[in-house]
Structure 1
Amino acid sequence: MASGASYLHFSTSSGKLLPRIILVAFLLATALWLSLVRYRQVQLNENVDKPLKLSPIPTFRHISVYRRAPDVIFENFLDSALVNLKLSYAGSYNRDVWPKKVFQTAKKVDKMYMEAVSSWSKRNPEHQHVLVDDVTAKDFVESAFISVPQVVQLYNSFPNPVLKADLLRYLLLYLYGGVYADIDVYCRRPIAEWLPENLWQSDADVIVGVEIDEPYAMEESQKVRGWHRPYGFAQYTIVSRPFARPVRTAIVRVVAHAHHLAKLKNKANPALLSKYSAEDIYEISGPGVWTDALIDSMNYKRKDISWEQFYNMTEPKILPTEGGAVIALPVQYFGNGQKHSNAGDYSHAQACVSHLFTKSWTRNSWFL
């Protein structure tokens, strides 16, 4: 009996100790995992902080995989549909006025973004500040672009919210014009002060800022920073008049490129795609397709515009497009605070907005 009693006591003690042992093991494993993650972050930061490895030959031109054999017939069909949409609004907007609207999109505004979001209303009280959530966005796309069902179908089929957000900014700006800004973009100066009056009064219908300006960066350095190209225009802040040609081109290409990817994946249409890589997103809906849409719009009559025209800009530059023009701003205007491209810090005298880069979706933030 004594041995039985001892065995019972041991079993009871073991039953009490087992959960504690499991908990301790879990905590140790968690601590080890966090240590490894931190070690990886430190390693990554050390690599990123190293000076860019430069090539003697710059990269001023990039041909996206989606532009090597584009479906011209399909793209022209989409473009015509969007032109018809524009014509249906004839007389309802003033081509000579920059709409006083600021659009931002988010499921909800977290506390960490409150100051950035409120900065737009604070510095631009004369602008209508519109926060678009998922439900409002879906309703807008389905009603406003009902005449272009390919746009609606693609928007609703996108599996990644980043893809939806990218396409949505182009659609909002195409129909309404105004300013689009990500919710982690802080407005530093009133919009009216971003440009001198003569540029506001010009024929320009799109204003963009340089984001990455490192055409001499070697591929190795680009990979460390998660760049898909060594140059590009910012997409987190865009200013546009309604129905601007470059915005229309961007919309056409988002749809066409998604269909192109579906074919590459042996899918009948984009609705059957369940996954997009970071590079897919960059070239289909993100800064890659936006940069190409801008440069190609400037080359509608000439073919000599490349990134060379925007390298190391120190003053705004205006270049004509079909029916309008693009004003390109030096990197310090929108891209300040980055650790590359001679972007300057957040307090730079030319800073109009500051992107906090807290919503970066790539493996490595473009901020680095």
Structure 2
Amino acid sequence: MLTFRRSLIAAVCLIAFVLLLRTTHSTVAIDREPGVPAQQPPGGQQQDTGLPQQQQQQQQQQLLSSAPPASASLRDRLRYQFPYRLEAPFPAYIWQTWKYAPSSVWFQERLRPREASWSQMNPEFVHEVVGDDTQGHLIRYLYAAVPEVYEAFEAMPLPVLKADFFRYLILLARGGIYSDIDTTALKPATVWLPAELDQSTVGFVVGIEADPDRPDWHDWYSRRIQFCQWTIQSKPGHPILRDLVAAITEDALRMKKKGILYTGKMDKTVMEFTGPAAWTDAIFRYFNNEEYFYVEPGSTRNITYEDFTYQQDHRKVGDVIVLPITSFSPGVHQMGAGDLNDPMAFVRHDFDGSWKTDPSL
């Protein structure tokens, strides 16, 4: 009897020791209604509790039990891996991509002044230009716990698809600013938002790309209001990015399974698969998602393109700041965009359209 009791105690101690050694996230993925002041989430864990060891062990076990099983949906696993913290500051990262890193002799000289503008305007930020040969390794590392995301990224048949997907992936995992290599920073990112705005209530900044108020708008753009994807700012884990990453991954793997994830065979265009159409739809899905916004019972609309047409200043919708077309498209001389010297002009886009050089597009 004594031997059995000793064995039982030893087994319990061993299990407890293994649980304590296992590493996991220090926070639980909790989404709140956008714009609501931060509250201590139920079952959450503070950064420095100062609690007795026994209570800390109990909290650690709660965190372990909160991890979703392998059978959980992709969105739930992404939510856990990349928790969204509205009250946290925007990370001081600037991400860009190009075929070659700036250190390469193949990095085009015409791009150097544009690339340098981001560091000059934001000297306190970490600025990274990620080359094509590095992107896959970085995504594989960041998304090791959700391997289907890397599988989808690697299966993309066109560089433009990977470039689109990468910006969403890096912002979901690390946050900060993404901007295309053919953009020039006109003002520091620290002045993009009004000084009086409480940034603990903002988790996402997006600009309007197009507001074509004309009968033939669909001949020129994919959506009546189209949001800009060449410059984006986000805190890690934002639900817009989580939803879009999951949607693109699911579409990619679906087409891969059908044997049509090839140039000229896909059942979605670049615009609808990873581009501005998919991007704009994801933002509107968020604005109309009852999990995050109040939607009038029985109503079929909450936020539509009509809420953003002719916009001239910042617009806060929940935890999202929508900037007018002038902010990321100054000097285009159409759709109400202001000039480069406009107070709301933050980023110039030169519309090089290098993605159009991809074959079969």
Task: Single out whichever of 330-339 and 185-194 deviates more from structure 2.
Answer: 330-339
Supply the distance in 2 between the matched residues of 1:181 and 1:82 (Cα, whole angstroms): 23
Amino acid at match of 1:217: R
Alpha-carbon distance in structure 1 between the residues aligned to 2:259 and 2:123: 41
CA deviations over 1:277-297 (Å, ceiling 9, x no partner): 797111111111111111111
Aligned to 1:199: 197
1:274 to 263, 269, 274: 263
1:140 aligns with 2:138: yes
Partners of 1:200 and 1:275 in 2: how far apart?
Answer: 47
Question: 1:149 and 1:186, CA in 2 relative to 1: closer, same or farther beyond 3 A?
Answer: same
1:100 aligned residue: 92
CA–CA distance in 2 between the matches of 1:182 and 1:85? 26
Change (3 A) 1:272 1:191: closer
Distance 1:77 1:84, change over 3 A: same
Counterparts in 2 of 1:124 and 1:348: CA distance versus 1, 3 Å: same
Match of 1:299 among 284, 288, 291: 288
Q: Does 1:356 align with 2:350?
A: yes
Q: Matches of residues 11-26 of structure 1 in structure 2 within 5 Å?
A: none
Distance in 2 between the 1:192 and 1:278 partners?
Answer: 41
Give 2:331's match in structure 1, choosing from 333, 337, 340.
337
User: What amino acid sits opposite 2:185 in the alignment?
Assistant: C
Unaligned runs of 5+ in 2: 1-71, 101-106, 296-300
Question: Does the CA-based 8 Å contact 2:121-2:188 persist in structure 1?
Answer: yes
Task: Give a deviation string over 1:105-147, Cα, whole Å, max 9, x none.
Answer: 1122311111111000001100000111122211111121122
Aligned to 2:278: 289
Answer yes or no: is the 8 Å Cα contact 2:155–2:252 preserved in 1.
no
Q: RMSD in angstroms over aligned alpha carbons? A: 2.4
Q: What does 1:90-129 align with in structure 2 at a 5 Å threshold?
A: 95-108=87-100, 109-129=107-127
1:328 corresponds to which residue?
322
Unaligned runs of 5+ in 1: 1-75, 364-368
User: Number of matched residues?
Assistant: 271
CA contact (8 A) 1:95 1:242 kept: no
Displacement of 1:299 in angstroms is 1.3
Q: Structure 1 residues 344, 304: CA separation in 2 closer, same or farther (over 3 Å shift)?
A: same
| Matched residue, 2:247 | 253
1:81 matches 2:81? no
3-state secondary structure, aligned to 2:202: coil
Note the alpha carbon deviations across 1:173-196, whole angstroms, 9 max, x for none. 011110000000100001111111
TM (norm. structure 1) is 0.68
Whether the 8 Å contact between 2:330 and 2:339 is mirrored in structure 1 is yes
- For the pair 1:313 / 2:311, whether they are aligned, the reply is yes
Residue 206 of structure 2 is aligned to residue 217 of structure 1: no
Question: Residues 124 and 191 of structure 1 are in contact (CA less than 8 Å); yes or no, is this contact kept in structure 2?
Answer: yes
Report deviation, 1:202. 4.0
Q: What is the rounded CA distance, in whole Å, between the counterparts of 2:244 and 2:252 in structure 1? A: 12
CA 1:247 to 1:198, structure 2 compared with 1: closer, same or farther past 3 Å? farther
Tell me how far apart the structure 1 counterparts of residues 343 and 79 of structure 2 sit (CA, whole Å): 40
- Aligned residue for 2:330, secondary structure, equals coil
Counting aligned pairs with the same residue, the percent is 31
